[in-house]
Structure formats: structure tokens, C-alpha cells
Amino acid sequence: MFALDRTGETSLAPSAVTFGLSAAHVILCHKVIGDAGLRVEVTRGALEVACNDIAEVLPQVVVTSDAIGDEGLALLEDVAIAVGAVFLVLEESTTLDMIALEIEAAVVVAAERVEYRSSHPPPS
């Protein structure tokens, strides 16, 4: 999938965006998602910043925490769906081993979507 980088240039950049995660969860995302060959963009600050980053980066995966609340989750989910990303919500009470498995599964689903889209182009 193509992404628009911060300079405004288009490049091929399989990626993930994280928002609202604890430091341990961000590190785990870098490990698991990075091992799958995706770049991880960590978004900090306001929810609107995260939504803008998702719309600019066009990630394959968006990872956030249930700690951001229902309204924030709904907004991020809408933006993630709009760009075709897998949306993953991590529960703060889940063990790191279980979270790693959830992240791995999200990356697999994202890869399957990319493969499907490349083998089934939209009609002209």
C-alpha cells in the first residue's frame, strides 16, 4: 500500500500506527510488528492528531488501548476502517504474552488483506 510521508511524497511503506499505549505496549508493538516488516508510527498527543496520522500514513494496522475510552475508540475505529486498516484494541489487564499473540494475529490479517487486494484489483 502507498503512504504519504511527512514531506508529502508518496512511497511504499507498510506500516502500523499506535495511539494511547503504555511504554511496554509500544515496545511490544515495535518488536512484533517490526519483525513482520512493518514500520511503527507512535502517535502521541490529542486524539485528533492520531486520526490525522492514520489518514496520512494509511497504515495496515492501528493499535490502541481500551484506556482511551469509548468515544475515542469509536473515532479511531471509524478512521481505521476508512483507510482499510485492521483495528486492534489492547486491554490494559491482558498479559504481554497474550497481547503479543493479538498483535501477531492483526498483522497476519493485514497481510492477508494486502495480498487479496493485490490479486483482486478493483474494476476499471
How much is the pLDDT for 2? 46
Domain map (residue ranges) of the chain: 1-7+34-44+51-62+76-96
How much is the pLDDT for 120? 76
Q: Which residues of the chain have pLDDT under 50?
A: 1-4, 10-12
* Alpha-carbon distances, residue 104 vs 7, 36, 67, 93, 114 (angstroms): 30, 8, 21, 18, 15
How much is the pLDDT for 42? 96
How much is the pLDDT for 1? 40
Q: Where are the alpha helices (DSSP H) in the chain?
A: 23-35, 47-57, 70-82, 96-119
How much is the pLDDT for 11? 46
How much is the pLDDT for 6? 57
CA 57 to chain centre: 10
How much is the pLDDT for 123? 79
How much is the pLDDT for 9? 52
